Structure formats: C-alpha cells, structure tokens
Amino acid sequence: MKKDQNYVSEIDQLLAELRAIVPESKTQREEREKYQVIAQKRDHVMAENENEIWEEF
C-alpha cells in the first residue's frame, strides 16, 4: 500500500490555524531564530582551515 505523502492530520491543521491567528511571543521568536541558525549551520557546513587537517599526510 502506498503512503499518502500529502496527508495532514486534523491536529496539524488546527495547530497551523492557531499559528496563523495567535501572535508569536518573544520567547517563541527567539527559539525559532535560534533553531534557524542551527539548521543553517547544519545544512551549510563550512570547514575552517580545511587544509590544516591534511598537512601531515
């Protein structure tokens, strides 16, 4: 049986509606921004001094 990739549960629909209506608190905004930075660093790794590792080989 093939899974429905576009399925959204009722609770997810409700949460999406609430997020659209209820303003984001300062703490929620800070958390979202913090995890955006983490995701950016995770998805776009930039090695510092990449050549140093291989100098001895």
pLDDT value for 52: 64
Average pLDDT across each block of 10 residues of the chain; the chain has 57 residues. List them in order.
84 95 95 95 76 65
What letter represents residue 30's amino acid? E
pLDDT value for 44: 87
Rg (CA), the chain: 20
Residue 33 and residue 41 in contact, taking contact as beta carbons nearer than 8 Å: no
| pTM of the predicted protein model | 0.53
